Amino acid sequence: MDTKVNFAIVHELVKEQYKDILNSNIRDVVYDLEIPAVSKLIEGAVGIYGKKNNNSHYGTFAKKTASDFPKDFNAYFSQRGIVEKSFIELTQSAMGELYASAKPLPAASGGYILFVDYSNLQGRFMLIAMLKKRDGLRLNDKLIPEELIELDLNSLYQAARINFERYEKFLAADEDARLELNYLSFLSQTSGRSAAGYFVNSLGCMVGSASSQATKNLILESTQFFRDRPDLYPHRLALKDDVLRYLDSKRVSGESVKLSEVEAIARKFFPATYEGQADDLAGEFVAHLNSEAVGVPVEFPLSKTTLQKYTHVQYKSDNWQLKFDRDVLGEDVNSEILFVEKDRKLILNNLSDEAIAVIRAAIDEKKDERVEE
């Protein structure tokens, strides 16, 4: 695992649904990272983050929140060095916020809360993940089945992750730039489930917009995914066209863009040879778009301005400007708008009667003006 773990610890939020909350089970020492089971636990939680059934929403700390966690994290971030005592205090602060948020909610449930401060090739992160127990079986020395309670590492129940480098960039940015910066991501069991539960609220998180970057990355990286795979490469342009049409439909309706709907578009172009493997390929596609590096959330508002850059050609000079749909542009003589690069010409073909009337009127007006002079 290309991961360097600084500290890891688990506390327990003790609450069953529709029952009173009990005192949390709080550790006061970090884990010994040399213990194999500890490494396996951390590898499992870090490795599954952002994978299938664990898709990410992106955001920042809320400007106004009752939670002390954002302030406490900033203090931890700002200190010199990486201090074990400060890490433990930060995790205990978070547990206090989780307890306060879950206590008045009958339907809320607790679990084991894993905290990990770690670094990998993508940077340094703080992961906070809720793990649940599940029943299992094992065979004893006499090969007789026995009941076993284990942690479910197939999916994270709830989780939040803070990117230290992006957090630093956010602090240094002006207000306008901050609108397009996210440093938090949060997970829920399924992409359709709201991330705005008590878990993320207790940590002072809020879903961000960053719609411009998300729209741009969706268009570019969905095409890039197809470009990088020989079996999908021939369909890259058709995919891009369908994605742009889908985004334009969201522009008209005003609805949010959903990664699950983009996945459905991509599946239409999977070759028949992928039968039986389509789910895995779709999972890779979504995981790529939803990854920390690309940062397309499971749902986000469309940036109409960004979309227009990829659906229209626009240019403005001192004396004129043009704007037209990319689909009508070409170098073929039959193109509606013909580009002749060697002659530095852009030719409009097949003008409508209305367009001709407007142009004719403008030319006649110029003639009249010259006569009057």
141-153 b/e (C-beta count within 10 Å ≥ 16 → b): eeeeeeeeeebeb
Task: Quote the CA–CA distance of 20 and 4 in Å, as a whole number.
Answer: 38
Average pLDDT of the chain?
86
| pLDDT at residue number 320 | 84
pLDDT above 90: residue 119: yes
For residues 48 and 70, is the Cβ–Cβ distance under 8 A? no
Per-residue model confidence as pLDDT tens digits over 134-158: 766 666 677 666 666 667 777 677 8
Per-residue model confidence as pLDDT tens digits over 215-232: 999 999 999 999 999 999
| pLDDT at residue number 373 | 56
User: What percentage of the chain reaches a pLDDT higher than 70?
Assistant: 89
Q: What is the pLDDT averaged over residues 81-103?
A: 94
Q: What is the pLDDT averaged over residues 73-80?
A: 94
Per-residue model confidence as pLDDT tens digits over 319-366: 888 877 776 788 888 888 889 899 999 988 888 888 899 888 888 887
* 111-120 and 4-13 beta bridge pairing: antiparallel
Q: What is the pLDDT averaged over residues 118-125?
A: 91
201's tokens: 């609220």
Of the spans 160-164, 209-213, 326-330, which averages the highest pLDDT? Answer: 160-164
| pLDDT at residue number 200 | 84
Of the spans 52-66, 71-85, 138-152, 176-190, which averages the highest pLDDT? Answer: 71-85
Task: Quote the CA–CA distance of 70 and 112 in Å, as a whole number.
Answer: 21
